[in-house]
Chain A
């Protein structure tokens, strides 16, 4: 079964021309890559474009991937990071940052509890805006470690930096986020109440 194979095995089969292996690998890995791009950019459009570009790179230059250097997941995040950076620098920069979370992204968010819908949406939008307002190298570690739940080691592989750098950046980013959220909580008390409910 293809689902039993590792990412690296699927990639090897895909590079040998097996379409089913490529499809399985894509379906396994596209979600995290897409969400990483979405969290980083706040734009659904950029996220889809980046996901497509990342797997296109895998089709065209998949042989360059060296399993001894990093896991395939970390490699894909590394490629996605570069494409997000390019997309933000290119033509989307203004639109993405002027309205940090675009309408399509907000409307497609999963809403599990309709009763708390609006308050939760406000809270998550506030967090997302705070994350998007972070400098890029802090945003990357927050998205990878906190939102994608990567280990510090995997995040270090994806970003190509030392473990200690990830820790210190994350520590600093958390402080900055806390301060930003306190400001937004003071401006909109609903966010604080949702946070309190989450904690209780």
Chain B
């Protein structure tokens, strides 16, 4: 037996087994190897001292107070200590209730997220609508005086944004606007030339979402040739949304 084998064999034994030293192979090797014999002796001494500690604490146990407290707790019967048949009856109900509340919580969280997204989108929309109106209000001063004279009706209007008018694009309005010289904003693109400025009027009716405005529509005869306005004047009811976007147009005459 080599020293390595001795060590492997010795570590597989408990301290008590080692101290009794009944294993002939271990004893044989220790008899011939001084180092392993010293180690074995050390283990035997350790086992002996451990035995004194073990013997001295052998009778130690928890006091009667501990048992009393535990028995009181046992008698009080925590929820786990219900009878099995009772447990089987009540646990499924509790499980079902907890699942119901769990699903309810998930639904509530989902609804909150959806509402948050909806409000966020609405807020963004409102901002995107307000920005062009503000920028537009500064622009008329940039136009030349001659152009300003030509586009007089247009300047009176414009709480309704051009982009919003463009979204609606009623067919007859577009045809009228095509003949308009788009001189108010020379820098605008060709698509902006489709816009027709609408006059500001008091609303006929209001609601939280929209208001209906009756207004005169510029027509080709009126704007282009300068003919009699009354003869060619078009009256329309325009539904303007809370965000300034025209929702619908109804031609009255």
Chains A and B are bound partners: yes
**Using a CB–CB distance below 8 Å, which chain A residues touch chain B?**
14-17, 19, 22-23, 26-27, 30-31, 34-35, 38-39, 47-48, 51-52, 55-56, 59-63, 105, 108-112, 120-121, 123-124, 126-128, 131, 145-147, 149, 151-152, 167-168, 170-171, 174, 177-178, 181, 191, 194-195, 198-199
**Residue in chain A with minimal CB distance to B16:** A149
**Residue in chain B with minimal CB distance to A116:** B52
- Cα A181 to Cα B48 in complex, Å, equals 12
Contact between A48 and B63, CB atoms less than 8 A apart? yes
B60 to chain A: which residues have CB within 8 Å?
31, 34-35, 38, 47, 105, 108-110
What total count of A-B pairs have CB within 8 Å?
140
Pick the contact of A16: B12, B52, B61, B84 (CB < 8 A).
B84
- Cα A14 to Cα B57 in complex, Å, equals 29
Main SS of the interface on chain B? helix
Contact between B56 and A124, CB atoms less than 8 A apart? yes
Pick the contact of B53: A17, A128, A149 (CB < 8 A).
A128
- Cα A20 to Cα B83 in complex, Å, equals 16
Give 26 pairs: A residue, B residue, CB < 8 Å, sorted on A.
A14-B74, A22-B71, A22-B74, A26-B67, A27-B67, A30-B62, A35-B58, A35-B61, A38-B60, A48-B66, A51-B62, A52-B70, A56-B70, A56-B73, A59-B70, A62-B80, A124-B49, A124-B52, A145-B14, A146-B54, A147-B53, A149-B14, A181-B45, A181-B46, A191-B49, A199-B44
Q: A26-B70, A146-B14, A181-B45 are in contact. Are A59 and B53 (CB under 8 A)?
A: no
- Cα A171 to Cα B59 in complex, Å, equals 28
Q: A30-B61, A39-B57 are in contact. Are A198 and B48 (CB under 8 A)?
A: yes
B27 vs chain A, min Cβ distance (A): 16
B133 vs chain A, min Cβ distance (A): 66
Q: A26-B70, A35-B60, A128-B53 are in contact. Are A174 and B78 (CB under 8 A)?
A: no
B46 to chain A: which residues have CB within 8 Å?
174, 177-178, 181
B80 to chain A: which residues have CB within 8 Å?
15, 59-63
**Residue in chain A with minimal CB distance to B47:** A146
**Using a CB–CB distance below 8 Å, which chain B residues touch chain A?**
11-12, 14-16, 42-63, 65-67, 69-71, 73-75, 77-78, 80-81, 83-84
Main SS of the interface on chain A? helix
**Residue in chain A with minimal CB distance to B8:** A167
Q: A59-B78, A112-B55 are in contact. Are A199 and B48 (CB under 8 A)?
A: yes
B76 vs chain A, min Cβ distance (A): 9
- Cα A90 to Cα B193 in complex, Å, equals 80
- Cα A145 to Cα B46 in complex, Å, equals 13
B30 vs chain A, min Cβ distance (A): 15
Q: A38-B57, A48-B62, A111-B56 are in contact. Are A178 and B83 (CB under 8 A)?
A: no
B43 to chain A: which residues have CB within 8 Å?
174, 178
A168 to chain B: which residues have CB within 8 Å?
11
Contact between A146 and B15, CB atoms less than 8 A apart? yes
Contact between A60 and B78, CB atoms less than 8 A apart? yes
Q: A48-B63, A59-B81, A120-B56 are in contact. Are A195 and B45 (CB under 8 A)?
A: yes
- Cα A38 to Cα B83 in complex, Å, equals 35
A91 vs chain B, min Cβ distance (A): 19
**Residue in chain B with minimal CB distance to A52:** B66
Q: A26-B67, A110-B58, A127-B53 are in contact. Are A145 and B83 (CB under 8 A)?
A: no
B59 to chain A: which residues have CB within 8 Å?
110
A151 to chain B: which residues have CB within 8 Å?
14
A98 vs chain B, min Cβ distance (A): 20
Q: Given contacts A34-B60, A195-B45, could you give 12 more A-B pairs where the C-beta distance is less than 8 Å?
A: A15-B80, A17-B77, A22-B70, A22-B71, A59-B70, A109-B60, A111-B56, A123-B49, A127-B49, A131-B53, A167-B11, A174-B15
B65 vs chain A, min Cβ distance (A): 8
